[in-house]
């Protein structure tokens, strides 16, 4: 039998090391550029989404203002509310309030017919609260109020020990007498009493409110912050303590002793020649106005 022989030949190629090796790994520059392009695209989409949301909110506000306003366009009405057994008042509404201390209790409201339905008056634990209903209060469905004229309140009181005014309302009393009286003004409202007779008077002003008092008080304690103004240069007092921070101003009339603490850019001015203890920081000023 004839035998066949196979011969395998193997060739080994040895590369020439004098030549540079081929580049196997691809350049990463195109990949980096792609990542940057994707990042810019994502940012652009985010900006577009934010602008769309803001646009929808703007449209919602326009529609709300157009169709959600309570304009106070009804006929003028005067209504009375049966309120009694209170010595404190919490007034959070827009409008003008006149307080009459004549030994009776009651509240009269002069406004338009459609607004009367949204004014709430409640007495709880000796405090009379006057406010708008849920249609005006955040977050229960706040509505804008555009009355054609101011809402007027006439409040008759037997005894008043505390008055808390918030918002932009105004309160006026021709005459008040109290052993102890606390006045709180927060916001941009005003409280004015032409003839006050008080034993112990405590006044707190925050925000940009104004309290103007005349008459006499045995002792007055004043706490102020923000841009408020306490105008009591015609309120004669024996002793006083004032703590003012911010850029507000206070003017008092003190005969015996005055303790004044001032921080910020505000000012404390006083009539009379009391024995004075003062503490000041910032650029504010404590200044004597001389005899009254």
Q: What is the pLDDT of residue 148?
A: 53
DSSP per position, 166-188 = EES-EEEEEEEEEEEEEEEEEES
- Name the one residue in this structure whose structure tokens are 């006149």: 98
The pLDDT of residue 114 is: 82
Specify the DSSP class assigned to residue 62: H
| Percent over 90 (pLDDT), the chain | 61
CATH topology of domain 161-292: Pectate Lyase C-like (2.160.20)
Domain 70-156: CATH architecture, name and number where available: 3 Solenoid (2.160)
Average pLDDT, the chain: 83
Q: pLDDT tier at 108 (50, 70, 90 boundaries)?
A: very high
Query: What's the pLDDT tens digit per position in 166-195?
Result: 988 999 999 999 999 999 999 899 999 999
Closest residue by Cα to residue 172 from 154, 187, 157: 154
The whole-number pLDDT of residue 111 equals 92
For position 132, what pLDDT does the model report?
87
Highest mean pLDDT among 1-15, 34-48, 123-137, 235-249: 235-249
Cα four-point dihedral sign 97, 100, 105, 106:
negative
pLDDT of residue 212: 99
Six token digits for residue 272: 């009379």
Report whether 209 contacts 186 (CB < 8 A): yes
Q: How far apart are CA 32 and CA 153, in angstroms?
A: 71
Is the pLDDT confidence value at 243 over 80?
A: yes
How far does CA 69 lie from the centroid of its chain? Answer: 22
Two tokens, residue 69: 């306003």
Q: Give the pTM.
A: 0.75
Q: Residue 222: pLDDT above 70?
A: yes
Tens-digit pLDDT profile for residues 37-74:
556 666 676 777 777 777 766 654 544 444 445 555 66
pLDDT above 50: residue 10: no
Angle (nearest 5°) at CA 101 between 110 and 215? 115
- Give the confidence band of 20 by pLDDT, cuts at 50, 70, 90: low
Residue 13: pLDDT band with limits 50, 70, 90: very low
Q: Are 109 and 91 in contact (CB under 8 A)?
A: no
**Stretch(es) of the chain classified as CATH 2.160.20.120:** 70-156, 161-292
Average pLDDT over residues 108-128: 93
- Percentages helix, strand, coil for the chain (3-state, rounded to 5) are 15, 50, 35
In this structure, are residues 249 and 266 in contact, taking their beta carbons and an 8 Å threshold?
A: yes
Residue 158 confidence (pLDDT) above 80: yes
What local confidence, expressed as pLDDT, does residue 34 receive? 55
Query: In which band, very low, low, confident or very high, does the pLDDT at 30 lie, cut at 50, 70 and 90?
Result: low
């Amino acid at each position: 039998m004839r035998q066949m022989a196979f011969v395998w030949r193997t060739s080994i190629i040895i590369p020439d090391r004098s030549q540079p090796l081929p580049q196997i790994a691809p350049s990463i520059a195109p990949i980096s550029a792609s990542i940057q392009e994707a990042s810019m695209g994502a940012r652009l989409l985010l900006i577009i989404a934010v602008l769309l949301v803001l646009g929808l909110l703007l449209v919602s506000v326009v529609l709300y203002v157009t169709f959600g306003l309570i304009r106070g366009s009804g006929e003028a009405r005067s209504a009375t509310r049966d309120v009694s057994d209170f010595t404190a008042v919490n007034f959070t509404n827009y409008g003008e309030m006149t307080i009459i201390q004549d030994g009776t209790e009651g509240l009269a409201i002069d406004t338009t017919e459609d607004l009367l339905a949204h004014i709430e008056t409640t007495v709880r634990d000796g405090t009379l609260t006057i406010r708008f209903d849920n249609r005006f209060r955040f977050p229960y469905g706040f509505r804008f109020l555009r009355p054609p004229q101011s809402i007027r309140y006439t409040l008759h009181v037997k005894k008043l020990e505390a008055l808390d005014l918030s918002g932009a309302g105004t309160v006026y009393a021709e005459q008040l007498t109290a052993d102890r009286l606390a006045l709180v003004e927060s916001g941009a409202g005003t409280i004015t009493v032409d003839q006050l007779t008080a034993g112990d008077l405590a006044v707190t002003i925050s925000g940009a409110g104004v309290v103007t008092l005349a008459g006499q008080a045995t002792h007055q304690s004043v706490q102020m912050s923000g841009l408020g103004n306490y105008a009591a240069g015609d309120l004669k007092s024996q002793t006083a303590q004032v703590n003012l921070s911010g850029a507000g101003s206070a003017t008092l009339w003190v005969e015996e002793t005055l303790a004044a603490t001032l921080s910020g850019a505000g000012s404390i001015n006083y009539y009379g020649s009391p024995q004075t203890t003062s503490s000041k920081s910032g650029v504010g000023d404590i200044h004597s106005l001389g005899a009254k």
